[in-house]
C-alpha cells in the first residue's frame, strides 16, 4: 500500500513539473506604438529597440482590449516573447502575448502633483499618473490613456500612463488676427482656429543636431597638423642655415603656443564653437512654463501645434477653439 502511494506521489510530481516549468519560464517584453499591419503580424516602434516586426500565430494570446477588439495602427501595445530576436532589418520576434489596455474619456481635473482625474467610459473616475514629457493636458479635454493593465484598487482607481492621445492639429499659420488664424495642415486642409481668453501660447524649440561642431573639430585638427608640418619645415630650415637661431626659436615658441591653444580650445575659432555648443544645450530644452500671448512672438508662416477641446464644427473650413498653441521653432 505504501509503495502504491509512493508511486502515485511520484506520478503526480512528474505531471506537475511541466506546468511549474511553464509558470517560471522567463519572457522578454516590447512596448510601443503599432505602425503597420501586415499578413501574419504587425510592425511596432518599440521604445528601446526601434522598429520591430512582430509575427503572430494561433498560439498568440490576445489580452486586454484585444480580447474582443481588433489591433489597429496607432495603438500602444505590450508584446511578450521568448527573448529570441532575428538579426534582420527590422528584427523579428514571435509574439506569445499581445496586450493593449485603454482608458477613454475626458479630463475632469488636473491635480497639483501633475496627475489627472479622468472620467473613463467603463471604470468611471480614475487617477492617471503622467510622466514629465506628457504635457498639454487640460480639464474638459478628451483623452485616451494607454497603460500596462495594472490598476490600483484604491477609490478611485489609479494607473500610470504609458502613452496618451490628445486632440491636436499641426500646420502652418496664415491670416493671423487678434481673434484667431487659419491653419493649413500637411495635407493642405484648412482649419479656422479661434482664440479664447484663456488660450495659452507656448513655444517649443527643436534643435536639429548637425555636424558644425564635428567639422570645427576636424578643422582644428587639420590646422594643428598644418602647424606641426610648418614647425618641421622651420626646424629643417634652421638646420640648413636658412633661418637664424633666434628667429627659429621664436617661430617654434609661437608655433607651440598656437598648437597648444588649438588643441586646448583657447583660440578664437574654437571659443566660438564652445559657445555654440553651450547655446545648443540651452535651446534644446523645450520651454517648461506656459507663457502668455504677449511673451511669444509669432506670425504668418510659423508652424504651430494646436491643442483643443475635441469639438470641431462641420463648417467649411472646420472651426476649433484652441486651449493651447505651441509655436515650433
Distance, in Å, from the CA atom of 251 to the CA atom of 238, rounded to the nearest integer, reads 11
**pLDDT tens track for 78-106:** 999 999 999 999 999 999 999 999 999 99
Predicted pLDDT of residue 297: 87
**Among 88-97, 165-174, 284-293, 307-316, which stretch is predicted with the lowest mean pLDDT?**
284-293
CA distances from 197 to 76, 201, 259, 272 (A): 35, 11, 60, 43
Instruction: Say whether the peptide bond before residue 226 is cis (omega within 30 degrees of 0).
Output: no
Cα 256 to Cα 131, 230, 250: the distances in Å are 52, 11, 10
Higher pLDDT: 230 or 137? It is: 137
Q: What is the mean pLDDT of residues 238-252?
A: 47
Query: Residue 83 in contact with residue 26, Cβ under 8 Å?
Result: yes
Report the alpha-carbon distance of residue 329 to residue 322 in Å, rounded. 19
CA dist 152 and 160 (Å) reads 10
In this prediction, residue 296 carries a pLDDT of: 84
* Model confidence pLDDT, tens digit, residues 11-37: 454 454 444 444 445 689 999 999 999
Phi and psi at residue 53, to the nearest 5°: -90, 125
What's the predicted TM-score (pTM) here?
Answer: 0.68
Identify the weakest region by mean pLDDT among 111-120, 156-165, 269-278. Answer: 269-278
Q: What is the DSSP string of 122-186?
A: TTEEEEEE--TT-----TT-EEEEEE-S--B-SSSEEEEEEEEE--EEEEEEES--SSEEEEE-T
Instruction: List all residues 6 or more positions away from 130 whose beta carbon is below 8 Å from its beta carbon.
Output: 114, 115, 116, 137, 161, 164
Q: Tell whether the model's pLDDT for residue 39 goes beyond 80.
A: yes
Q: How far apart are CA 232 and CA 70, in angstroms?
A: 73
Mean pLDDT over all residues of the chain? Answer: 78
Query: How distant is the alpha carbon of residue 164 from its chain centre?
Result: 12
The three-class DSSP label of residue 251 is: helix
What share of the chain has pLDDT > 90, as a percent? Answer: 61
Lowest-pLDDT range of 194-203, 232-241, 257-266: 257-266
42 or 233, which is more confident?
Answer: 42
pLDDT in tens, 46-72: 999 999 999 999 999 999 999 999 999
Q: Report the pLDDT value the prediction gives residue 26, as an integer from 0 to 100.
A: 65
Q: Look at residue 99 and give its three-state secondary structure.
A: strand
Using CA atoms, how far apart are residues 223 and 216, in angstroms rounded to an integer?
Answer: 10
DSSP character for 266? -
pLDDT at 147 over 70: yes
Give the length of the chain: 329
Q: Is the separation of the CB atoms in 221 and 242 below 8 Å? A: no
User: Whose grid coordinates read 598648437?
Assistant: 259
The predicted-structure confidence for 186-233, as pLDDT tens digits, reads as follows 999 999 999 999 999 999 888 765 545 555 555 556 655 665 555 555
Helical segments of 265-317, H only: 268-283
Report the candidate in 207, 191, 188, 182 with the shortest Cα–Cα distance to residue 301: 182
Host H or E run for residue 308: strand 303-308
Asked if 117 and 108 touch (Cβ cutoff 8 Å), the reply is yes
pLDDT tens digits, 272-303 = 343 444 333 333 333 334 334 446 889 999 99
Which pLDDT does position 231 carry in this prediction? Answer: 53
Whether omega for the bond prior to residue 311 falls within 30 degrees of 0, making it cis, is: no
Q: Report the pLDDT value the prediction gives residue 186, as an integer from 0 to 100.
A: 95
Amino acid at each position: 500500500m505504501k509503495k502504491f502511494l509512493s508511486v502515485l506521489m511520484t506520478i503526480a510530481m512528474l505531471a506537475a513539473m511541466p506546468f511549474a516549468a511553464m509558470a517560471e519560464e522567463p519572457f522578454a517584453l516590447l512596448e510601443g506604438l503599432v505602425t503597420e499591419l501586415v499578413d501574419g503580424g504587425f510592425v511596432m516602434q518599440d521604445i528601446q529597440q526601434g522598429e520591430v516586426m512582430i509575427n503572430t500565430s494561433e498560439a498568440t494570446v490576445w489580452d486586454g482590449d484585444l480580447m474582443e477588439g481588433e489591433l489597429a495602427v496607432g495603438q500602444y501595445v505590450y508584446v511578450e516573447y521568448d527573448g529570441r530576436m532575428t538579426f534582420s532589418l527590422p528584427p523579428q520576434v514571435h509574439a506569445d502575448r499581445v496586450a493593449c489596455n485603454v482608458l477613454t474619456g475626458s479630463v475632469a481635473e488636473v491635480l497639483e502633483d501633475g496627475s489627472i482625474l479622468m472620467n473613463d467610459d467603463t471604470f468611471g473616475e480614475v487617477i492617471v499618473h503622467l510622466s514629465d514629457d506628457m504635457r498639454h493636458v487640460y480639464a474638459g479635454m478628451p483623452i485616451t490613456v494607454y497603460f500596462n493593465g495594472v490598476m490600483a484598487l484604491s477609490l478611485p482607481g489609479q494607473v500610470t500612463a504609458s502613452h496618451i492621445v490628445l486632440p491636436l492639429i499641426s500646420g502652418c499659420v496664415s491670416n493671423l488676427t487678434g481673434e484667431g488664424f487659419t491653419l493649413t495642415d500637411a495635407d493642405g486642409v484648412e482649419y479656422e482656429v479661434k482664440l479664447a481668453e484663456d488660450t495659452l501660447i507656448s513655444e517649443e524649440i527643436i534643435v536639429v543636431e548637425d555636424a558644425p561642431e564635428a567639422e570645427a573639430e576636424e578643422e582644428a585638427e587639420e590646422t594643428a597638423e598644418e602647424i606641426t608640418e610648418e614647425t618641421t619645415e622651420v626646424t629643417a630650415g634652421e638646420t640648413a642655415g636658412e633661418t637664424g637661431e633666434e628667429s627659429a626659436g621664436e617661430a617654434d615658441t609661437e608655433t607651440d603656443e598656437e598648437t597648444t591653444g588649438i588643441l586646448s580650445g583657447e583660440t578664437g575659432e574654437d571659443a566660438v564653437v564652445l559657445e555654440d555648443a553651450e547655446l545648443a544645450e540651452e535651446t534644446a530644452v523645450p520651454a517648461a512654463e506656459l507663457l502668455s500671448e504677449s511673451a511669444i512672438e509669432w506670425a504668418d508662416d510659423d508652424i504651430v501645434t494646436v491643442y483643443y477641446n475635441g469639438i470641431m464644427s462641420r463648417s467649411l473650413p472646420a472651426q476649433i477653439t484652441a486651449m493651447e498653441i505651441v509655436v515650433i521653432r
